[in-house]
Amino acid sequence: MSRTIAIHSSKGGTGKTSLALNLAGSYVSSGKKVCLMDMDSKGPSLHSFFNVTPNNYFNEYLRGAISIHETLTNIDLDRSGQKGELYVAFSDPEIGAIREFSTMDRKWQTKILKRLINAKKDLEGLGIDIIILDTSPGVEFGSVNAVAVSDFVLVTVKPNKICIQSIEQVINGIYRMLGKECAIIENMCPESKDHYCSLSNTNLEVPILESILCRCDISTLVCKEIITLQRPEHPYSKSVFRIRDKLDSHLNLD
Amino acid sequence: MCDTAKIELILKNLDEINEKLDKIIENNNHNHNHNNNDISEKEDDHGHTLDVMTLLTLPEHLRTTATALFELGTATADSVAEITKKERAVESNYLNQLVRMGHVKKQRLGRKVYFLVDDK
């Protein structure tokens, strides 16, 4: 049975895409067949990282034009000698496609939700073990649809007042309302806990799976490689591996 | 007649009553739509759309039912009840509420009534 993890945040710039890529890498390194889906149709970014032009964009599937397997690009990981496989569904970065998806009406959103549910079932049929949804930040149709079809929500937060105040709304107003299990990843944390506003001091009653330390080299590395595959000993990779292991027990994947 | 047989008979009768109630509601909706054609046309915009934001505004019991129906696609009250772990009659009632709210469509095929989220 496949599991779907949505990576979401209430604010932008919290490291969702980096976490999505590296979590995907961590599951590949443990031999899993992973599908990473760019659900940020208003600000797609995975195409820039992989620098590929797929045969079909995920947008075509959402339009009902093609099947989900036609949107998948198999990422060549041969050189890294990994046991698992990585497939990516890219969102169309062209401004015309972004404009089109930004102005779709509510009937269309109902169809999208149905198609996402069917995509999950089809991906399971294709033998995918883990589906990772890289969502757009905040509360809008694309991200809430992604949360609605997920089995678990990882919410990335920067440890500052603005992020912490807005996180409560998405946890209570979206995740809990949709009956979703969720956990927090504190990202870009200063080394000393005295200098940041930790979520461990709040009453959210949501587990904090990991507090990832802020390091200058991460922002450079995440743009050019999947750190968990290329540098498994890097502190960022170790944080992501811990997240994966904790997720496994939440998702009964042990 | 033993207790088990009595219970089975009661359940069978309840199922028949549910089917009859479904038919009455169906006929009422049909007549209502027929008599209020103008109003229906005016309401036929996105006011009834069951998108994910609307789902969040529903009371918990209807949200659970609607979520299960999204998962199943087209389903009977029995199949929805299997997912929500509630009684079939309870789910039938909730599904019919969603039909009356215009979020869900209802189709009769033979003796069975099927529900699906309306996206047309």
A24 has a pLDDT exceeding 60: yes
Residues of B with CB under 8 A from a CB of A: 46, 49-56, 63-64, 67, 70-71, 73, 117-120
Dihedral of alpha carbons B89, B90, B96, B100, sign: positive
For chain A, domains (ranges, CATH) are 3-250 (3.40.50.300)
Domain range summary for chain B, segments of one domain joined by +: 3-117
The encoded tokens of residue A66 equal 């093609």
Whether A110 sits inside 8 A of B117 (CB atoms) is yes
Q: Is A174 in the B-facing interface, judged by CB distances under 8 Å? A: yes
Mean pLDDT, residues A95-109: 91
Cβ atoms of A133 and A7 closer than 8 Å: yes
Give me chain B's average pLDDT, please.
84
For residue A78, give the H/E element and its range.
none
**Across the A/B interface, how many CB contacts are shorter than 8 Å?**
53
Q: Is A110 in the B-facing interface, judged by CB distances under 8 Å? A: yes
Q: pLDDT grade, residue A31 (50/70/90)? A: very high
For tokens 């802020």, name the residue.
A214
Reported as a single tens digit per residue, the pLDDT across B42-71 is: 444 556 889 999 999 999 999 999 999 999
Between residues B15 and B70, which one has the greater pLDDT? Answer: B70
A195 has a pLDDT exceeding 60: no
- Separation CA A54–CA A70 (nearest Å): 10
For residues A18-42, one letter each, b for 16 or more C-beta atoms within 10 angstroms of the residue's C-beta and e for the rest, the string is bbbbbbbbbbbbbebbbbbbbbbbb
Give me chain A's average pLDDT, please.
90
B36 has a pLDDT exceeding 80: no
Task: Report the top-level CATH class of B3-117.
Answer: mainly alpha
